[in-house]
């Protein structure tokens, strides 16, 4: 399912959402310019679970070097489809959540959702030496908040049906609920198969981000 747009205009200009998108654009084009150096860049600034779970590996890094990837990973992407897909979803759902929380709280909310996503990915995939990058976990948090804030907002969705595509107008709770269920079952099957990152997708990072978004929404919105 691919969201095309939502029928839920924001009350104010989403400066933080567009700022995050802008930073991701700059980071992505910088990645494209790195050439052969990209591999080292991704290992340095992406989340590599074994760096945090294996004491011998962890001892090679300073506290700062271990902390930085929890932020930088949210602005890196592994290819055009990954990058465009994430930015499009953030564009659709981010403005309304930012409007509900306020700009400063939304930024903190977004970063914490990304952090929670990375933590759950590490916990469920502790021996992995594969770097994980992308804003998907943080954006999943935005989707989790949207699920609670605007469950009946309409989301125009492109749905593949066998060899055909159909455009369907779905309530947000249906679209986001189905999305979460698909992530959960994909992550569960991956665990049963001995891994959590199959086909380049860190399913449990998505799940962790979505659940964190639902929980943190109550914290940040309650304070507002």
What is the pLDDT at residue 120?
Answer: 92
Q: Give the integer Cα–Cα distance in Å for 30 and 78.
A: 12
Residue 116's alpha-carbon distances to 41, 56, 110, 169, in angstroms, are 22, 24, 10, 31
- CATH number, position 206: 1.20.1540.10
Model pTM score: 0.89
Q: Nearest CA to 133 among 90, 74, 178, 199? A: 74
Q: Give the integer Cα–Cα distance in Å for 217 and 212.
A: 8
pLDDT tops 70 at residue 200? no
Q: Give the integer Cα–Cα distance in Å for 138 and 144.
A: 10
What's the domain range around 108?
Answer: 2-223
What mean pLDDT is predicted for residues 168-195?
Answer: 83
* Chain length of the chain: 224
Q: Which of 198 and 84 is assigned the larger pLDDT? A: 84
Q: Nearest CA to 39 among 85, 9, 78, 96? A: 78
Q: Confidence band (pLDDT; 50, 70, 90) for 199?
A: very low
What is the pLDDT at residue 193?
Answer: 64
Q: Give the integer Cα–Cα distance in Å for 101 and 106.
A: 6
The string of DSSP codes covering 133-184 is: --SHHHHHHHHHHHHHH-TT-EEEEEEEETTEEEEEEEEHHHHHHHHHHHHH
Look at the chain and report how many structural domains it folds into: 1
- Averaged pLDDT score across all residues of the chain: 89
Which tens digit of pLDDT belongs to each residue from 27-69?
999 999 998 888 899 999 999 999 999 988 889 989 999 999 9
What is the pLDDT at residue 194?
Answer: 57
Angle at 114 between CA 112 and CA 187, to 5 degrees: 130
Angle at 90 between CA 72 and CA 174, to 5 degrees: 130
The backbone region for 153, taken as left when phi is positive above 0, alpha when psi lies in -120 to 50, beta otherwise, is beta
What mean pLDDT is predicted for residues 9-22?
Answer: 93
Q: Confidence band (pLDDT; 50, 70, 90) for 184?
A: confident
pLDDT tops 60 at residue 214? yes
What mean pLDDT is predicted for residues 185-195?
Answer: 71
């Amino acid at each position: 399912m691919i969201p095309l747009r939502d029928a839920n205009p924001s009350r104010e200009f989403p400066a933080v959402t567009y700022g995050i998108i802008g930073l991701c654009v700059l980071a992505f084009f910088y990645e494209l310019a790195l050439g052969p150096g990209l591999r080292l860049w991704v290992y340095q600034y992406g989340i590599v679970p074994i760096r945090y779970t294996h004491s011998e590996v962890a001892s090679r890094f300073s506290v700062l070097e271990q902390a930085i990837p929890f932020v930088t990973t949210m602005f890196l992407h592994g290819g055009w489809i990954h990058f465009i897909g994430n930015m499009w979803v953030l564009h659709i759902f981010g403005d309304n959540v930012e409007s509900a929380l306020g700009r400063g709280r939304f930024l903190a909310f977004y970063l914490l959702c990304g952090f929670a996503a990375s933590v759950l990915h590490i916990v469920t995939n502790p021996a992995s030496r594969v770097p994980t990058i992308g804003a998907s976990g943080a954006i999943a948090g935005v989707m989790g908040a949207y699920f609670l804030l605007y469950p009946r907002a309409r989301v125009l969705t492109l749905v593949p049906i066998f060899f055909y595509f159909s455009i369907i107008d779905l309530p947000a709770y249906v679209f986001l609920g189905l999305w979460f269920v698909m992530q959960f079952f994909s992550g569960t099957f991956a665990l049963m198969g001995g891994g959590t990152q199959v086909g380049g997708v860190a399913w449990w990072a998505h799940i962790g981000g979505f659940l964190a978004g639902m929980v943190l929404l109550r914290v940040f919105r309650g304070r507002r």
